[in-house]
Structure 1
Amino acid sequence: MKRQKHLIRGIPVLASLNIDRTVKFYQEKLGFNRIGYQDENYAVIARDEFIVHFWKCDNKIHPENTSCYVDVTDIDGLYSELKQFDVIHPNGKLEDKPYGMREFAILDLDGNLIKFGQDIE
């Protein structure tokens, strides 16, 4: 039996210890320029075609054990842009991976790890 296509895209829902502080960090350091929704317990923000949701939590164990992966174009340009804000993970510098991706990683203020990657062509 052939399955129909139903899945369109994934949107990460990450933990935040302080929604206002998180949104400000993503705006100022990562260039997020659209807010779809924000209150003290939840936020929906975006940059380009990437959307992320944040939920308010009170325990840092949640963000410190959470990550997401973002496919990008012009990984070198994005790396250069974000490097100036000192957000690159110490073990996440830009490099080519053996599985065919060029990628790097950042940490937000709460410890969420975000990996950015582009296919090596």
Structure 2
Amino acid sequence: MLTSIHPKLPMRNKNVTKDYYVNQLGFSQFGSADYPDYLMVEKDNVQIHFFLFEGLKPKENYGQIYLRTDDIEQLYQSLLDNDTAIHPNGKLQTKPWGQKEFSLLDPDNNLITIGQEV
């Protein structure tokens, strides 16, 4: 009966988060209402929600999401072409568990891992 999931991640500054997800990752803002403490973005069939947490200490943030794609090579290259920083330990590689993956850190240190089955 479940049909989808929309993770909620912390953000310290809505404008910074929106800029990163829209201009670096290619998401669009979602929803008709613009709440000062909440942000929703979407791309393809994925939505990510953010809640304001001004006291968040990025080095203590363990927010994480795992996104799946069907064209990881093209997505990875498009992010490189857009000068999007790839996590220093998260370059595109095939993992022993049968996934090709890479990782990003958003401005609040939320870990975004993107993978495709090999």
| Fold similarity call, TM over 0.5 | yes
Separation in structure 1 between the aligned mates of residue 99 and residue 57 of structure 2, nearest angstrom: 29
Partner of 2:117: 119
Separation in structure 1 between the aligned mates of residue 57 and residue 17 of structure 2, nearest angstrom: 16
Where structure 1 has 5 or more consecutive residues not aligned to the other structure, the ranges are 1-5
Q: Per-residue CA shift, 1:5-56, capped at 9, x if unaligned?
A: x222221100000112111111110001242253210011101111000000
Report the TM-score when normalising by structure 1: 0.87
Query: Does the aligned pair in 2 maintain the 1:87–1:108 contact within 8 Å?
Result: no
Partner of 1:44: 40
Query: Does the aligned pair in 1 maintain the 2:29–2:39 contact within 8 Å?
Result: no
Where structure 2 has 5 or more consecutive residues not aligned to the other structure, the ranges are none
Separation in structure 2 between the aligned mates of residue 86 and residue 51 of structure 1, nearest angstrom: 20
Q: How many residues align?
A: 115
Separation in structure 2 between the aligned mates of residue 86 and residue 70 of structure 1, nearest angstrom: 17
Report the TM-score when normalising by structure 2: 0.89
Moved over 3 A (4+): none
Query: Does the aligned pair in 2 maintain the 1:34–1:47 contact within 8 Å?
Result: no
Q: 1:103 aligns with which of 81, 98, 101?
A: 101
Amino acid at match of 1:82: L
Matches within 5 A, 1:2-81: 6-36=1-31, 37-61=33-57, 64-81=61-78
RMSD of aligned alpha carbons: 1.6
- Larger C-alpha radius of gyration, 1 or 2? 1
Q: Secondary structure at the match of 1:38?
A: coil
More deviation in 94-103 or 30-39?
A: 30-39
